[in-house]
Structures are given as structure tokens and as C-alpha cells.
Structure 1
């Protein structure tokens, strides 16, 4: 790793910048920096991980996922994979990450690339959902040298050059639309999949599971070719009726950009260049908890990001007689029995919000004396890696009525 890169874990203080550099950082907001304390000559990382230039300095901040000093590095890819096993969760992952292609790239070691593996996992999971539903058909332009007939638009100059001047008087080159699988969206997906096949071969000792997913996906694209021009890529329009397709195409274009639209660019180098990026760890944890809640309580019993009159709560359990407001907090202090009063106030407000109550099987005449159960789910590596009906109520927050907390362990990268 170059000396100019500051490597630090999430939610930690860093004293590596001068006062002048901290002032410059204060003027340039950075997703990886939670707070800046100029008198103490330090800044604090938050719960976003990634790689970023620090303001106008030549220093780079590299934040990795590790909640506390006792745990190993968090396996955020496994967390994402587990949550996306529920296809309906895919649509909630829009704000998972951002890549700043307009910023100068940063040279790092291959194993420090946090963003490419995440995009690969996300993309393959979405395409897998598409495959199970069936590839979409659509119209696409073709150009053919037809014999004895004319169809669509005649390409006059090509017909003269390739046919008339060669005494092929019954042949006409025509362009027209056909309906089938070989439309631009599918070709973009196919090209990205072939890029990933090469990428995964170089990481074959690490990504056996992803290779299996790719091998499941590729046969569905057998009748789709991978030839796609830049103009065709730019002309693709998102269709709100095919949200998975829109997201998959968006990710495919990111993959092609990441590798410079050239499959030969994918090399097994120790050092690579990547653009600055950030990854939203609280959202990954939120989606992970959503998957666990659906596993434990039923897919239809949990409303995710339920809108209230004031704000939007993480999860609302609508099971009759077991109604509950649930919030995920990607904060390690809850495992020590501590809490943040703002979190308590937030859940209390949601539990009394008439917008929340209106989604439950509770008659409006009962709202005045209804106290909903409230639950905070937080990461705890000493806890189980699943949620159950019983453990939701095991640990009350004693200072408040009907408030509970439950820890859940999250995947870690095994020690070598």
C-alpha cells in the first residue's frame, strides 16, 4: 500500500492529518468522514467504508469494515448475498454504494479492492432473479443481405458496393427490427457476464460460490451475442416495469466502465487502479436484518421502510396480536447494554404515529391506549446469527416500557 494511504477501520479516530489538512477537509464533505475536531487535531470515520481522496491533499483514506478490536474483518459480501436471497429485497439496495468515476483513480493492492467484489455479488444476484423469471424479449435492429425480397429500410450504398457492383442483382441489404432475446439490454448483460467470467477465474480460489452462480446464469444467454457498441449502451432507456433489468443494466455498465470496456484490461496484477468509492455498511446491515426477519417471521409479516406521517421506520411487523416497530442500528454499543436516547425517541415516535398504526389490524378506537412493542436489532458477534420469535423479547431495555434489544452476529472473514 502506498505511504499516502491512511488505513483505518470504521468508527475510529485518526490523528494523521495536520491542522491545515483538517481545515481543508472541513470545506470538502467526505462520506467516509463522520466528524472533524480541529482543536483535537483529529477526525472520526463513520460507518461507511471505502476509498477516497482527502480534500486537496495527496493523502488517501481507506476505511475497512471492522466494528471493534475483538472482531475480525466483517464479511460484507456474505451479508449482502444472504439478504439478496430474498428477490424482493433487491429493489431496496439502490443506495448501497457510489463510485466516483469523475475523480482520479487510486492505486491499491488487488486484495484491498472492496468495491469490485461487491458489484459482482450484487449484479449476479439480480441477474439470477431475472433468469428465474425468464429473459425479456424486445425489438432490436438487424442488417441482412436478403435474396429476392426487401424488408424495412434499403441500405442503398451498401447494396451497390456489396451486390450490384458484384452482379448480385437479386440481393438487397436491408435494415429492420426483429423481436427476440438479442436486444441491447441482454447484450449488455451478456458482455458484463463474460467480463466477470474472466475476473472470477483470476480469483478462483476465493469465489467458488460466485462461479457456480455464473455457470447457472450463462446458458440462458446462449442465443444472445455480446457485441454492443457505445452508442447502443448510451441509447438504453430504463423501463420502470422491469426494475430488475434497469438495475442489472446499470450495474453491467459500471462493470464495463470499471474494466475500461476491454476484457483484456482484466489482468491478474498485484496493483490495480480504482476510482474513489464508498459502501453503505448500515444499509447492508439493514438489508441483512430484513432477510433474517423474513426468515424468522414470514415474508408477508414485515413491511420494510414503512412510511409514517413523520419519517420512515426500518421495519414494521404487522402480525395480528404481535405488532412491533423494529429498527436496525449498526452500532456496537448496544451489546454492552448501553443505548442512545435519540434512538429510543425515534422508535417511540414511530410507535405512536397514526401513519404507523393505520397499517396494523388495530381499530382506530384502540389507538389511544395502544403501546406497540419496540425492538432494536444490533450487531453482536457473541450472539446467534439468526432471529427467532422467542429471542426478540429476551432482553428488555428496562428503563422503557415494551422496549427490547436483540443482537445478531454478522459474517466475518476467517483468519488465514
Structure 2
């Protein structure tokens, strides 16, 4: 596919690899061609775009089937504190349940050289915190048990089935007539599922143990063996009674695979992966809304109406606050008069849906469905360090529109030395 006429002097054309910040314009025609022909195009450029502007996905992607060309997309905030964002999102069980939609790791493709990039560390933090928070919730009910096969040379009794091969070798040939070598299933805590969880927990402790206390979880695994072979990860069959274990085991296996993957790579290499920053920001805002409004207003998240034709980020309703709110991971709203036309159209449509308006009847300004104008709120990433919490008293008007407001939220960052 290489077209010499499209080559330029950029890093991608010289090195077959390039690094950009999210939502930046791509000027290299050859790189654009590779992205558009890549299976990851919808993540890199966006679902409906064949343009030249990167989307809000960050991560590392292979662009060809031969795994010779790649692109690394960094957060636009270079010192973003992923630890704080992930921890805040995962502090609520309502957010944890579908948090896995935010990111994906591809262990089937060769590693990519991240060249010391911060994304590599973010991958360890993300998987570890996600797993630990889910594990903490599950351990409230204690560890699950499952049937495991055991073999034992029993004294004058039979349990399960006689293992004739071993019985002949160990008992008949040794004239041990008082013994019966048996194979049986036992309902035990030392099952494969729990051994996988324990292995992942130990890896998490080595990853982030100094900043996240995972030691309290370890006490639950005192009777669980440390023995685990990598091939066993492919043989697991989950008990259908324990559906909640399914995602937890999946996360644990990913952590074990990631550790094994990185151990076999060079220092700066890691598997291809992506994080949807727009969705992460949405979840982060949801957690902050719960923090701020849990005793003041009800928050409806991802409310679908009209047979799922419309799905709203948030409906905030109560005696004090009533808004149709939407997160927009866009810098334009930091400008005094900045907005995007399509965002205004989207929220305007939401505010005209009767099923949505019915949720806002507690608003003091509400009279009837036909005359009521719902308040629309756009929540965006702010550059102001004072905007660390949701405070609906600090909303600002979007002057060109009736009852349209915006509210900035500061994304946590590492403190620069």
C-alpha cells in the first residue's frame, strides 16, 4: 500500500510510527491512508468520520496486517492523573458494572514500543483498580466455592470412583489391602477461579500496592493455593450460579496475561490498547454528580426513551435542581462564547421529548408540557483548578440560547515539580 507520492518528512514516514495528542489534525496523507484502511479506523478517527481529525480515543494501534506501522495517541492533558479518575469512577457500584466498556486490551497482537510513554503506566493502574474495586464488592459475600477434582488414597472407604490404575500401583502391588485410591469431586474454596483471583491480586499489589491498599483482600485467600499454570486460564468453566464472577475472572485473567505479556517484552513495550476518554469523562462526571447531589436530586443516567431512539446522559430532577445534562469532552466550552452547533441541537431535541419533560415536573418553573422550556446543561472539561467538584450554583449561561447552561469540571492532574 506504500505510495511514495504520499510520503513526507514526518516521523511516521521516516519511522513507521508516530505519536499524537487526541483530537489533533493529521497532515500526513500516507498516515491518513493507513488509518482509513485500518480495522481501528472508527476508534482513531471516530465512528462516522473519514476526516483528518483524531477522535477522543487514546492508546496504541497497529495500522497494518504485517504489524510494521503503528500510531500512539496520548491524552491532550499530558499529566492527567488516571489513578484519581479511575478511583473516583469506581467508588460507586452503579458505575463499576459497565466500566469495562471504557477500555480494551489486545493480547493477540504483537507489542508496541511506547518509548517510555505515560500510557504504559496508565494501563497497569486502570486494570488493577478496576479489578480491586470489583473484588472488594464481591468479597462482601465471601469467596465462592466450586467443585474440584481430588485424588486420595483413602483408608478402608470409597469416595467417588476408584482410580484403578493408581490403586493397583500403590495398594495392590504394595499389599496395602486397607487402602483404596479414589478420585472424587469436592466442593472447595481452593478452586481454579479463586486461584486465578489470588494470582491477579498479588500482581495488583505489586503494581499499585503503595498507593492502593489491596492487602485487606488477601486475607480472604489464606486457604487458596498459590499454584496456577498459565494453560489453566484457557480451561476455566464458570459456575452458572455465579454470573457476577464472570467479569471479575475476565479482569483477573487480563491482569495475569498483561503481566506475562510484559515480562516477555522489552522494557518500553506493551500490548495495543485503547481508552475512550469521552466515556471516561462521562463516568467521572457521573461520580461527581452522585457526590454532590445524592441528598438533593435524583440522577437518571443513560435514560433511554422512545424505544431506545434517544439515550440521555443525565436527567437531574428534584425540588431544587432540574436539568437535562450532557457531557461534552471538548475544549471549546472553555471559551466565553464557545459551543458546537450539533451539541445544542442534540440537547434541544431531548428537551422536546414528552417522556423526558415528564421527569421535570418538580421544577418550580413547570406549568404544563406544552409551555415548559427545560433547562439544558453541558458539562465540559475545565482548565480552572477550582472546578474540582460539581456545584450547580456555578453554572454559566450560553448567551445565544434560552435556558442553555454550561459547567466546567477540572480533570485531575499530577502536580508538576
The reply on whether 1:273 has 2:273 as its aligned counterpart is no
Match of 2:84 in 1: 78
Superposed, 1:155-194 pairs within 5 Å as 155-194=163-202
Superposed, 1:10-409 pairs within 5 Å as 10-15=22-27, 17=28, 19-28=29-38, 29-30=40-41, 31-34=43-46, 43-55=52-64, 58-67=68-77, 72-109=78-115, 112=118, 113=120, 114-200=122-208, 208-210=210-212, 212=213, 214-229=214-229, 230-231=231-232, 233-237=234-238, 239=240, 242-243=243-244, 245-260=245-260, 266=263, 271-298=267-294, 301-309=298-306, 310-320=309-319, 322-337=321-336, 338-357=338-357, 359=359, 366-382=368-384, 383-391=386-394, 394-409=395-410
Aligned-partner Cα distance in 1 for 2:80–2:143:
34
CA contact (8 A) 2:146 2:239 kept: no
Assess, with a 3 A threshold, how the Cα gap between structure 1 residues 4 and 354 changes in structure 2: closer, same or farther. same
Aligned-partner Cα distance in 2 for 1:145–1:376:
69
CA contact (8 A) 1:375 1:406 kept: yes
SS at match of 1:62: strand
CA contact (8 A) 2:358 2:369 kept: no
CA RMSD of aligned residues (A): 3.0
Q: Deviations over 1:185-215 (max 9, x none)?
A: 2221111112333445xxxxxx6212x2x21
Residue 103 of structure 1: how far off its partner (Å): 2.0
Aligned-partner Cα distance in 1 for 2:98–2:183:
40
Match of 1:415 in 2: 416
Q: Deviations over 1:107-162 (max 9, x none)?
A: 33455414232111211121122223432333333333322211122222122223
SS at match of 1:8: strand
Residue 65 of structure 1: how far off its partner (Å): 1.1
Normalising by structure 2, we get a TM-score of 0.84
Q: Deviations over 1:302-360 (max 9, x none)?
A: 12111111221111223246332111111111111311121112112222223434556
The runs of 4+ residues in structure 1 deviating greater than 6 Å are: 362-365
Aligned-partner Cα distance in 1 for 2:82–2:116:
17
SS at match of 1:130: helix
Aligned-partner Cα distance in 2 for 1:369–1:168:
92
Aligned-partner Cα distance in 2 for 1:117–1:183:
27
After TM superposition, the structure 1 stretch with the greater mean CA deviation from structure 2, 52-61 or 154-163, is: 52-61
After TM superposition, the structure 1 stretch with the greater mean CA deviation from structure 2, 92-101 or 191-200, is: 191-200
Greater relative contact order (Cα < 8 A, sep 6+): 1
Assess, with a 3 A threshold, how the Cα gap between structure 1 residues 384 and 133 changes in structure 2: closer, same or farther. farther
SS at match of 1:413: coil
* Structure 1 gap segments, 5+ residues each: 38-42, 201-206
Residue 376 of structure 1: how far off its partner (Å): 0.9
* Structure 2 gap segments, 5+ residues each: 1-10
